[in-house]
Structure 1
Amino acid sequence: MRGATLTPTTSRDGGRAVTAPGTRTPVVLKLGPGDPEPTGHADYDEVIATVPVREIPYSWVRLVRPGGTLHVSWLNPFSGPATARLTVVPEGRASGHFVEMADHPPAEEVPSVVRQAELSVPWYRTTTSLDPEVIWSDPAALFALGIRLPRLRCAQTSVGRGQVRRWVHDTTSAACAVVTPSGAITVEQHGPQLLWREVEAAYQWWEEQGRPEFHRFGLSVTSFGQFAWLDDRCSGRIWRV
């Protein structure tokens, strides 16, 4: 296609790709809130999707020509939307690093599993050395937990006097860690899954890797799934998200 002339193409935001005789300018598609699902195959040099999603449709990858780029906003369940810049290769895979993350995690409605946990006796109570405020005050830690524990979600509830309880939960279980007046940290586990143990393990992994910032993580989207990795896609530190 080098040197070819392309018919001007309308993008989703109303812009047009302008071509000069005998030249080829990049064809860009922008996907915004409320736009219909695009169709096509390898029609664009760049696709910019501004709608945060947890699962990146493989159909978006198919829209991009090999060598082109896909800018996506992946919804990290702990730290909020993070933008990744992915390059599409001839094999049909898109891979690249995260390049930007939200300044503040979005406020989410407290789910019923957490509301029910607040009103019930914990199934299991233990202690921990991991202060929840250490996690929630560190954007890099929040991002790492969200990308290591993509099936979990987080929430917070008020306990009065400006204090909050930090929760992690899935659809059946919830856990929170509370700092007591003595300085001990008590963990309350509700439901069959011991979720705070998963948080502790993920946080320890993050520390062992040198406490990496978000830009050291990457994302790959393939026809058979979506994967995250640290530093390099072929490093062996890769997992499904």
Structure 2
Amino acid sequence: GAGNVVTVEVDGAVAQRARSALRASGAPVRVVHGDGFRKFPEGAPYDRIVVTCGLRSLPFAWVRQARPGAVIVAPWGTHYSNADAISRLVVAEDGRSASGAFAGPVEFMKLRSQRLPPVEHRAYVPDTVAVGEETASAVTEEAFTGGRFGAGRFALGLRVPACVNVVAEKRDGARPVWFYGLTDRSWACAMFRDGDTARVWQSGPRRLWDEAEAALAWWEKRGRPGHERFGLALTEAGQSAWLDDPADSWEV
């Protein structure tokens, strides 16, 4: 019943409005003004944990505060883009992990503590792209950018870690796509132009375009899998992603 439900809200004004609305509806839900990332031990153990903000890293505290067999549902993605998906994790019987496949794509407001500051372009490229190494690529704009809720960018985010991808607006038949490294000042830019081969510039210890191109080839070789073929696992040591087989996972 509603008396066993706890909702946690970080914004005090929103929490107060929630209390008023719930009181008016006659639902005895407990509203806590606090950080939901830490969960709320006082109400544990929980059968269901439903998260309504986008995450980049799931806290193991949620597994600790859930019953074996409990379900944790949360929007999740990488810093690569806003192309998130709904993760549905089931807590293991021994309570030491939670895992499950993704559902469909989604976009949520990000958890405040996990939002990245805007990329300072000039900190990466103070002059022009001409300072980078120039190559060409046969990858097409459509294959790389895909639709807003397509699985491609989500998959690339799983395979190109610690990177922010920015797809600029298209002007006069040209669209630049940028890559910024989060652990150093590596950067790349792919310029897609209608009717022409893409030009690429990249610089830094990492070759970010090469990584992205390889990730795209990996995704296409496996039949361009949708969100539902990917999964996420959470343990005290961290989180890992997998495609089709949970035993074949990698750290994310």
Check whether TM > 0.5.
yes
Deviation at 1:122, TM superposition (A): 2.8
Q: Is it true that 1:134 corresponds to 2:147 in the alignment? A: no
The size of the alignment, in residue pairs, is 222
For 1:122 and 1:112, the matched residues in 2 are separated by 17
Deviations 1:120-175 (A, max 9, x none): 33321111111244211241211110122232111134574474311122131111
For 1:198 and 1:190, the matched residues in 2 are separated by 13
For 1:74 and 1:116, the matched residues in 2 are separated by 27
- State the identity as a percent: 31
Partner of 1:94: 98
Amino acid at match of 1:44: Y
| Greater alpha carbon shift after TM alignment, 155-164 vs 63-72 | 155-164
Call closer, same or farther: CA 1:232–1:159 in 2, change over 3 Å: closer
For 1:225 and 1:131, the matched residues in 2 are separated by 35
For 2:34 and 2:143, the matched residues in 1 are separated by 34
Deviation at 1:231, TM superposition (A): 1.2
The equivalent position to 2:230 in structure 1, one of 203, 213, 217, is 217
| Greater alpha carbon shift after TM alignment, 141-150 vs 225-234 | 141-150
Name the SS of the counterpart of 1:126 in structure 2.
Answer: strand
Q: Is it true that 1:149 corresponds to 2:171 in the alignment? A: no
For 1:83 and 1:130, the matched residues in 2 are separated by 29
Name the SS of the counterpart of 2:125 in structure 1.
Answer: helix
Deviations 1:206-236 (A, max 9, x none): 11111101110000000111000011212x2
| Greater alpha carbon shift after TM alignment, 219-228 vs 179-188 | 179-188
Q: Is it true that 1:185 corresponds to 2:189 in the alignment? A: no
* Unpaired stretches in structure 1, ≥5 consecutive residues: 1-5, 17-27
Asked if 2 retains the 8 angstrom alpha-carbon contact of 1:83 and 1:99, the reply is yes
For 2:245 and 2:211, the matched residues in 1 are separated by 24
The equivalent position to 2:4 in structure 1, one of 9, 17, 23, is 9
Root-mean-square deviation (CA, aligned residues, Å) is 3.4
For 1:136 and 1:7, the matched residues in 2 are separated by 43
* Unpaired stretches in structure 2, ≥5 consecutive residues: 9-18, 24-28, 111-115
Deviations 1:170-221 (A, max 9, x none): 1311111113576121101132321000011111111111110111000000
Higher helix share: 2
The equivalent position to 1:207 in structure 2, one of 203, 220, 227, is 220
The equivalent position to 1:170 in structure 2, one of 168, 175, 181, is 181
| Greater alpha carbon shift after TM alignment, 120-129 vs 88-97 | 120-129
Alignment of 1:106-121 (within 5 A): 111-113=119-121, 116-117=124-125, 119-120=127-128, 121=130
Deviation at 1:80, TM superposition (A): 2.4
Amino acid at match of 2:250: W
